[in-house]
């Protein structure tokens, strides 16, 4: 008779393990955050230069930057091709960052699992890319469920929806909850599929995705752990909106203060994401460990 497998870590132990892993690999976490920051700043610089050179001499654009949305839209109207070009540039940079993030995530998971960053990032980049492509199927299902829910919840004619906050936002969001829950489960599943690819030395993306669904339903703590991360992310975001809503942040000083606040929020959320990944890897490592043999 085989010895019993060691018990899976609790949610609290997963959080603790994730925080400890992040603290040990803080230099790597900071480097990954700076890579993300570089990509976002690169897009901002491109947009700022393009808009300034094209619209900087227009008084309407100056009013729009100051907060007049109508003036901003009117200033864009004669040069819509520029906004289309910026949109295409943004999509290109987003796809480029997606490819980069798959590479970096593979390295991070590999380090948490005891591998070297470079070896893990190179070895599991293509499996991670295939996993992302396969995951588009459940993500599409989630989007369809959310869309159907919001459509059902959006009852009443257009005039009633516009004058009632409940009909405009609250009711559709309530009907979208099943789809949002399904989306959270899918996102959690993809995370565990990534961890299982690295920890189990696997390369089959579709098998990893199916195995990820089995894993999260066999380990309810994994869903609770991920749910806490989502709640934390939402709380930090809501706190940022509360602190900044209605404040003009005028002038150069206000712009720098807003930028610093945004980066602080982004850094906190990124740190929580890295710690969550660490806790997930800890659970997969524990689940894949051989059963302990009691000493005689």
| pLDDT tens sequence across 57-111 | 566 555 555 555 555 556 655 556 666 666 776 777 778 888 889 999 999 999 9
Measure the CA–CA gap between 187 and 182, rounded to whole angstroms: 9
Q: Who's near 180: CB < 8 A, 6+ residues apart?
A: 146
- Dihedral sign, Cα of residue 148, residue 149, residue 152, residue 155: negative
Q: For 277, left (φ over 0), alpha (ψ -120 to 50), or beta?
A: alpha
Phi, psi torsion values for 3, nearest 5 degrees: -70, 150
| pLDDT tens sequence across 247-257 | 766 666 777 77
| C-beta neighbour count of 166 within 10 angstroms | 12
Measure the CA–CA gap between 140 and 173, rounded to whole angstroms: 18
DSSP conformational letter for 68: -
**96 contacts 40 by C-beta, under 8 angstroms:** no
Give me the pLDDT at residue 58, please.
62
Measure the CA–CA gap between 27 and 102, rounded to whole angstroms: 19
Give me the pLDDT at residue 9, please.
81
CA 249 vs CA 29, 58, 153, 245: distances in Å: 30, 22, 37, 10
Give me the pLDDT at residue 289, please.
76
Give me the pLDDT at residue 154, please.
67
Q: Using 50 as the pLDDT threshold, list the residues of the chain that sit under it.
A: 1-5, 159, 162, 296
Give me the pLDDT at residue 2, please.
36
């Amino acid at each position: 008779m085989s010895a019993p497998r060691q018990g899976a870590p609790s949610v609290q132990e997963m959080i603790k393990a994730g925080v400890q892993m992040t603290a040990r690999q803080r230099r790597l976490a900071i480097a990954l955050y700076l890579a993300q920051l570089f990509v976002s700043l690169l897009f901002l610089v491109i947009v700022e230069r393009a808009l300034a050179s094209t619209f900087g001499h227009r008084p309407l654009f100056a009013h729009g930057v100051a907060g007049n949305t109508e003036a901003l839209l009117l200033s864009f109207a004669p040069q819509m091709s520029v906004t289309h070009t910026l949109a295409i540039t943004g999509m290109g940079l987003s796809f480029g960052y997606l490819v980069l993030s798959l590479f970096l995530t593979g390295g991070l998971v590999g380090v948490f699992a005891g591998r070297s960053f470079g070896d893990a990032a190179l070895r599991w980049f293509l499996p991670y890319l295939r996993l992302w492509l396969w995951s588009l199927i459940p993500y599409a299902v989630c989007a369809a469920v959310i869309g159907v829910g919001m459509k059902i919840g959006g009852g009443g004619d257009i005039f009633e929806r516009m004058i009632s906050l409940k009909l405009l936002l609250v009711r559709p969001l309530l009907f979208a909850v099943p789809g949002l829950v399904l989306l959270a489960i899918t996102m959690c599943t993809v995370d565990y599929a990534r961890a299982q690819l690295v920890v189990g030395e696997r390369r089959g993306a579709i098998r990893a995705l199916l195995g990820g669904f089995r894993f999260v339903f066999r380990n309810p703590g994994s869903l609770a752990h991920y749910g806490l991360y989502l709640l934390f992310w939402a709380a930090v975001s809501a706190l940022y909106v509360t602190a900044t809503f209605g404040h003009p942040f005028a002038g150069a000083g206000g712009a720098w203060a807003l930028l610093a606040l945004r980066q602080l929020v982004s850094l906190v959320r990124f740190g929580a994401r890295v710690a969550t990944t660490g806790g997930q890897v800890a659970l997969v490592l524990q689940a894949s460990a051989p059963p302990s043999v009691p000493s005689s």
